[in-house]
Structure 1
Amino acid sequence: TEKEGKKDVFYASQFEFQIAVKGTKKDILTRFWTGQNINSEKFEDDETGNSDYNRLTRFLLNMGLLDSKKLAELDKAKIDESDIELDSLIGRKIEFKMNKSIKRKGLSVIDIKSIKPVKSAK
């Protein structure tokens, strides 16, 4: 926590995920950030009122690196978060939807809930 004038600003460790999206002339680098905690606690979304996991947990569930069984084992400390191989995501093809940013006009952001791996054709 740091003071900026009269406000307290809180900083937390986070992951930055970078996604290269094919553009018409060149790849476009898109980013999204998540916290570093994985847990089964659900939070209520201020915008929609729906409840969901935190951004990192939701992303890992959607990508198949985590399932409900593993999530329960994490909560019971039967497995360690380090058992989840984030590096296995490097180079994986994904698809996702974009939403308009609430905070910045004209900006679109990745909808974490829509991310899913692209199944390779055999």
Structure 2
Amino acid sequence: MKKLLLTTLFISSMFANESFEKNKEYTCLNTHNIKQGQQFNVEEKEAVKKPFIFSIKENQLITKENIVFDFKMSRGSMSSYSNSEYMLLLTPDMGLGLVPRKAKGSIQFYFTCKSK
């Protein structure tokens, strides 16, 4: 599952024209989830109710709820962050992938982000 997430996000990054920058706030809406290999689309009206809002400061990604993700690595124009509960991947096309560590890849969340 993790390989599927990385492959999907890597391919989408090849067509990117915008990327994440430090010291900007981003609002991300959940577009779809993958659970045990099956994709479930999320309706926009539902995604708007629970946006994922964050900013990047130095080597940390900090959410609106003050949850901190530490920078782990970069590969090309993709960046990886994590904390004890989640792994997060940012792609240059303003995509975000979120994987709970305890789920071990059985569920993945995908978001599309915009800067404010």
TM above 0.5 = no
| TM bucket, shorter chain | under 0.3
Question: Structure 1 length normalisation: TM-score?
Answer: 0.27
Structure with the largest fraction of helix:
1
**Structure label with greater radius of gyration:** 1
Question: Structure 2 length normalisation: TM-score?
Answer: 0.28
